[in-house]
């Protein structure tokens, strides 16, 4: 079904006036060819009527300049969904993805400044050099498991696990908690989003309780020590929100690998002739992992570029459509250009952009270094995309390469990465590290424990 026929079919269904003539963003047709739908949506002006799920209407901003206007105006377009949420039945599928949570990405005003400040300050203190070393070592741990097979499923075996393994170190997790977080990442593809979120929240709650008594040099401890004086539950909520970023990050990695391995513009990239960061930036412009989101709920009827928007009804930003707005195409160079909206804009933009870029860049570079003849195992047009209105996510990424014997890190000619139990922040004065205070597995022991568990799982 084409975008035009899908639109016609949607309009032909008997619906109440609020749902009339809405273009559906759910189903396989949209996920396989969203560009056709975005082209159709643009015919309706800078903001179009869409359906996020059967019976769930919304307005979608597809124009770049209009998107910036909305994202930068939290007064007219607050994030609080309480009024809208009360209008939906308890079983509505959209509640889980758009419901209120006390997160810095959702709350507004002084509450936002307080929570956002604590999270941003904690992330800003991460040493990018040590983070890069951590990603390299994490990548090697995962690559060692399939390098001898000559084939791999890079979504399940690599991209879905790498961000979680690094995140466990950013959090300052013990080896035991690191194992549970990794196991949750492996299970997430076959479990409900709600159950996965509950598991993550429970694990982070345990971590925060542990760190409250035994500080370390990690993001969790930095947030607990922040002048904003967050409660334990507030720290848990913000770290859980950071964990929600694992899925967009894995999709950014797989979307970039797909582009790099299938687009003739990047032929020879595996041998180093193309900068990986340019490929990552191209994906953020053309195929962002979060395609449509940032729900906002105007408290009164408003207009955006002449389009009326009703009070209390969701207004979403199409990052994918705005980034590919034809008005931006003339004379625009994407390489090195970070004016895209893939991380949002305004006060609620993503606070973890810098570490996410390091994880994605180093994760792909390490993979290409170790598997220089990496190629897709199926034609690119046979890859399938997971349905859903919010993400741009492959269902899998099978690849093949020349099988080689897995080597330990110490056997490689490339520099050996440090062996941290966490990605360290500047050490606080006169405060013991976890290894000094409680005997938890740290350094090489952390990695040895994770390696044994990963190989025996």
Instruction: Express each pLDDT in 130-164 by its tens digit.
Output: 999 999 999 999 999 999 999 999 999 999 989 98
Q: What is the pTM of this model?
A: 0.84
> Model confidence over 279-289: pLDDT tens digits?
999 999 999 99
Domain count, the chain: 1
- Residue 173 pLDDT: 84
pLDDT at 293 over 50: yes
3-state secondary structure of 182: helix
Neighbours of 103 (CB within 10 A): 20
- Whether residue 171 is predicted with pLDDT greater than 70 in this model: the reply is yes
Q: Can you tell me the distance from the alpha carbon of 154 to that of 374, in angstroms, rounded to the nearest whole number?
A: 11
Residue 35 reports pLDDT greater than 90: yes
> Contact, 286 vs 389, CB < 8 A?
no
CA distance 442 to 420: 7
Helix H or strand E encompassing 47: strand 47-53
- pLDDT for 321: 96
Residues 6 or more apart from 183 whose CB is under 8 A from it?
Answer: 457
pLDDT, mean of residues 177-205:
68
Give the distance from CA 197 to its chain's centroid. Answer: 14
Average pLDDT along the chain: 81
Range of the domain at 305: 3-456
* pLDDT band, very low/low/confident/very high, at 6 (cuts 50, 70, 90): very low
- Whether 53 has a pLDDT exceeding 70, the answer reads yes
pLDDT score for 203: 84
What digits encode the pLDDT tens for the residues 249-278? 999 999 999 999 998 887 655 545 468 988
184-188, 375-379, 411-415: which is most confident: 375-379
pLDDT over 70 for what percent of the chain?
75
Q: pLDDT (tens digit, 9 = 90+) per residue, 70-118? A: 999 999 999 999 888 887 766 666 666 788 888 888 888 889 999 999 9
CATH number where 240 lies: 1.10.630.10
Q: Are strands 23-24 and 47-53 parallel, antiparallel or unpaired?
A: parallel
Distance CA 341, CA 113 (A): 21
Summarize pLDDT for 420-443 with one digit per residue, the tens. Answer: 444 444 433 333 333 333 334 445
Which has more confidence, 32 or 418? 32
User: What tens digit of pLDDT does each residue of 352-391 get?
Assistant: 999 999 999 999 999 999 999 999 999 999 999 999 899 9
Where do we find the tokens 């859980």? 240
């Amino acid at each position: 079904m084409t975008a035009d026929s899908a639109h016609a079919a949607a309009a032909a269904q008997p619906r109440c006036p609020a749902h009339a003539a809405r273009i559906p963003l759910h189903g396989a047709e949209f996920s396989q060819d969203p560009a056709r739908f975005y082209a159709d949506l643009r015919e309706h002006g800078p903001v179009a009527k869409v359906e996020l799920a059967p019976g769930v209407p919304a307005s979608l901003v597809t124009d770049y300049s209009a998107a910036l206007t909305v994202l930068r105006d939290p007064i007219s377009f607050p994030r609080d969904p309480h009024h809208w949420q009360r209008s939906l039945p308890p079983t509505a599928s959209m509640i889980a993805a758009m419901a209120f949570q006390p997160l810095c990405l959702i709350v507004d005003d002084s509450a936002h400044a307080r929570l956002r400040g604590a999270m941003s300050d904690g992330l800003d203190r991460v040493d990018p050099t040590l983070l890069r070393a951590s990603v390299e070592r994490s990548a090697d741990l995962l690559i060692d498991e399939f390098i001898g097979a000559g084939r791999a499923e890079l979504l399940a075996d690599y991209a879905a696990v790498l961000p979680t393994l690094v995140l466990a170190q950013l959090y300052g997790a013990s080896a035991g908690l690191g194992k549970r977080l990794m196991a949750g990442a492996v299970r997430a593809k076959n479990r409900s989003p709600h159950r996965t979120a509950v598991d993550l929240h429970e694990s982070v709650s345990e971590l925060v309780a542990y760190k409250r008594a035994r500080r370390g040099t990690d993001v969790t401890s930095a947030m607990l020590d922040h002048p904003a004086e967050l409660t334990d539950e507030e720290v848990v909520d913000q770290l859980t929100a950071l964990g929600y970023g694992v899925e967009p990050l894995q999709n950014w990695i797989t979307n970039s690998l797909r582009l790099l391995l299938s687009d003739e513009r990047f032929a020879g990239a595996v041998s180093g002739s193309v900068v990986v960061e340019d490929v990552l930036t191209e994906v953020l412009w053309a195929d962002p992992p979060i395609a449509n989101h940032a729900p906002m709920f105007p408290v009164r009827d408003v207009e955006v570029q002449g389009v009326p928007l009703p009070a209390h009804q969701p207004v979403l930003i199409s990052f994918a459509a705005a980034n590919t707005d034809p008005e931006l195409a003339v004379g625009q160079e994407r390489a090195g250009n970070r004016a895209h909206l893939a991380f949002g804009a305004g006060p609620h933009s993503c606070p973890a952009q810098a570490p996410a870029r390091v994880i994605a860049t180093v994760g792909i570079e390490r993979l290409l270094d170790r598997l220089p003849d990496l190629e897709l195992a199926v034609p690119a047009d046979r890859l399938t995309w997971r349905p859903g209105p919010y993400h741009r996510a492959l269902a899998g990424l099978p690849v093949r390469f020349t099988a080689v014997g897995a080597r330990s890190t110490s056997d490689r000619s490339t520099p050996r990465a440090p062996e941290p139990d966490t990605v360290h922040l500047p050490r606080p004065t006169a405060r013991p590290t976890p290894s000094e205070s409680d005997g938890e597995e740290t350094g090489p022991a952390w990695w040895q424990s994770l390696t044994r568990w990963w190989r025996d799982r």
